[in-house]
């Protein structure tokens, strides 16, 4: 049987060189090995929802009102800024026997029209200023003055709608007012799709000038 010769013992210095070489190779192999780090995606807290701020609708712009009306030698100048809140109207006169006058009034809405007339046929004119219907109530307003025998302005009183029995029943609105021939007409829609119209006559009373209901119609 063939027997391999006994290997000669390794020189200790060669053994150290070999050991160092192995360690160097092992370190190089470890350096080339890339261990992918575990990516942990941390969920970021979402931003709190922002409160929705409703857009504020600007008040509807209404053009200032200015009109000059004249009858029987007396002139009325009606002027209103038609502000969205805290509106006013100014009435300036010319031709009165007691001299020119200016009246300023607070009003609940915008001026939408003005009429001049002589509803009681006494030879002295009246001025009628129409304030538009309120969006919340549908009620309109009237500012009215008579020239009072051509001397000075006196207020004219229009009674509330509720003063006339049954006049306000079924009121829907909006309400409108206008001078129609020799009377003041007050008209508004009511329930059932119909329209109610009230006609007033101007009369001199103990407490001053006022309107009295003369007729009610529905159509």
Cβ partners under 8 Å of residue 139, min gap 6: 133, 161, 173, 175
**pLDDT of amino acid 181:** 87
Average pLDDT along the chain: 80
Find the angle CA(88)-CA(94)-CA(95) to the nearest 5 degrees. 145
**pLDDT of amino acid 39:** 41
Residues 42-96 pLDDT 10s = 444 444 443 333 333 334 558 999 999 999 999 999 999 999 989 999 999 999 9
Residues 17-51 pLDDT 10s = 444 454 444 444 444 444 444 443 444 444 444 33
CATH of domain 65-158+166-218: 2.40.128
Strands 208-218 and 154-157: parallel
Res. 4: pLDDT tops 50:
no
Average pLDDT over residues 194-219: 93
**pLDDT of amino acid 38:** 42
Domain ranges of the chain: 65-158+166-218
Q: How far apart are CA 101 and CA 93, in angstroms?
A: 5
Average pLDDT over residues 190-215: 93
Res. 166: pLDDT tops 60:
yes
Whether the full predicted model's pTM is greater than 0.95, yes or no, is no
**pLDDT of amino acid 86:** 93
Average pLDDT over residues 132-144: 95
Residue 130 preceded by cis peptide, ω within 30: no
Q: Which tokens is 181 given?
A: 């021939």
The conformational region for residue 23 under phi > 0 = left, psi -120 to 50 = alpha, else beta, is alpha
Res. 199: pLDDT tops 80:
yes
């Amino acid at each position: 049987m063939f027997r391999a010769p006994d290997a000669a013992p390794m020189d200790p210095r060669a053994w150290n060189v070999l050991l160092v070489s192995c360690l160097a190779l092992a370190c190089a192999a470890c350096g080339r090995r890339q261990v992918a780090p575990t990516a942990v995606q941390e969920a970021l807290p979402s931003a709190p929802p922002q409160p929705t701020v409703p857009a504020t609708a600007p008040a509807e712009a209404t053009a200032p009102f200015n009109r000059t009306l004249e009858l029987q030698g007396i002139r009325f100048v009606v002027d209103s800024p038609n502000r969205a809140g805290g509106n006013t109207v100014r009435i300036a006169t010319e031709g009165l026997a007691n001299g020119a006058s200016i009246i300023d009034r607070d009003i609940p809405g915008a001026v939408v029209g003005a009429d001049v007339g002589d509803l009681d046929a006494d030879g002295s004119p009246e001025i009628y200023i129409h304030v538009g219907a309120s969006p919340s109530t549908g009620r309109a307003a009237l500012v009215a003055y008579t020239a009072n025998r051509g001397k000075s302005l006196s207020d004219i009183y229009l009674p509330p709608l509720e003063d006339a029995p049954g006049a306000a029943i079924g009121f829907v609105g909006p309400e409108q007012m206008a001078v129609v021939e020799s009377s003041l007409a007050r008209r508004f829609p009511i329930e059932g799709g119909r329209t109610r119209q009230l006609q007033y006559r101007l009369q001199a009373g103990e407490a001053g000038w006022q309107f009295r209901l003369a007729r009610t119609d529905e159509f």
